[in-house]
Structure 1
Amino acid sequence: MLSIRPSNPQRCIPNLLPARINHNGPINDAERYWKPETDDKGKRHSYFRGRHLHGTALPLPNNYTGAILRVTDQQLPQSQTQPQQPPADEDDEDAETEESIPVEVNIAEQVGEFDQVIVWGHGGEVDGSGDAFIRGMSEWVGFAESMHIDEEEKDKGTKPGGNTV
């Protein structure tokens, strides 16, 4: 489980590329490798490894904020850790007799935040109905909202607010 530590996150726009990059560290001269541009029609274009890519903006819903997290090795002290696994059901014969099991909670620092993602594709803009990432995001948001809606909000027809992706 993670506990998000508030910080001064930088605004950013994540880019989902149709490529596998076997590197996970900083790049000294990022503009040399990645320089997206917007043409006079408002279309996003870039070249990566000699391939022409077209970008499609995928905005997050109004009540959501995307977060870039850096997971640390630090753990939240047990006294501040509230979630614990509930005791086993009385009808469960295989359950152990422990009252509760403490949950380890690592601390994650929020280093960035965003309100949209750019999805890049080859040969044209990415089709929302055919792209697994775009479909997954819209389905996940709908699923998350249906799980976290209160009965009162459900009756009123309002949506929950302040969610983080």
Structure 2
Amino acid sequence: MLAIQSTSAKKCTPNLLPARLNHNGPVNDTAHYWKPEVDDKGTPHAYFRGRHLHGTPLALPCTHTGAVLQITDKNLPQTRNQPVDDDDEEDDQETVEVKVAEQIGEFEEVVVWGHGGQVEEGQDIFIRGMREWMGFAEAMHGEDEDEGGEGEKKAS
């Protein structure tokens, strides 16, 4: 499990590129390698390693905030899970290790990049996945529509 520790996070825009890079570390001169521009129609364009990419911005709903996290080696103090069944004894409880993840950035949109034109929302797995995840998160954490507290939606 993870616990998020908020710090002064800076605004950023994550970019999903259609490429695999065999580098895991900082790049000294990012402006030399990555210079996205926006055309007259508002479409982002960039050249990466000689290939022309077209960007599709995907805005998060105003009810959501994106976070860039860095998992640390820090742990929260140990806690114990509550028993799932009434038959479980206290000796059978497991300890849960909770790692601390520091929030180093936050965002309101993601840009998905593709070759040869803008990415189609119905065809791209990243866009479809994000839309489905946001819908699932709203269904799990949203407020019930009916006031009766029954937990079921009424048929009209």
TM-based fold match above 0.5: yes
In the other structure, the counterpart of 1:4 is 4
Return the letter of the residue paired with 2:130. M
Structure 1: any 5+ residue segments left out of the alignment? 157-165
What is the total number of aligned residue pairs between the two structures? 147
In the other structure, the counterpart of 2:145 is 154
- From 95, 98, 101, the equivalent of 1:102 is 95
Q: State the identity %.
A: 59
Q: CA deviation at 1:77?
A: 1.7
Scaled by the length of structure 1, the TM-score of the pair is: 0.82
Q: CA deviation at 1:154?
A: 2.6
Structure 2: any 5+ residue segments left out of the alignment? 148-156
RMSD (Å), alpha carbons: 1.8
Q: Following TM superposition, where does structure 1 have runs of at least 4 consecutive aligned residues deviating by more than 3 angstroms?
A: none
In the other structure, the counterpart of 1:86 is 82
Pairing of 1:1-165 with structure 2 (within 5 A): 1-78=1-78, 81=79, 84-90=80-86, 98-150=91-143, 153-155=144-146
Q: Distance in 2 between matches of 1:63 and 1:2?
A: 22
Q: CA deviation at 1:86?
A: 3.0
Q: Distance in 1 between matches of 2:21 and 2:118?
A: 21
Return the letter of the residue paired with 1:45. H
Q: CA deviation at 1:112?
A: 0.2
Q: Deviations over 1:69-114 (max 9, x none)?
A: 1110010122xx5xx43314257xxx78734222111111100000
Equivalent residues of 1:87, 1:98 under 8 A apart: no
Scaled by the length of structure 2, the TM-score of the pair is: 0.87
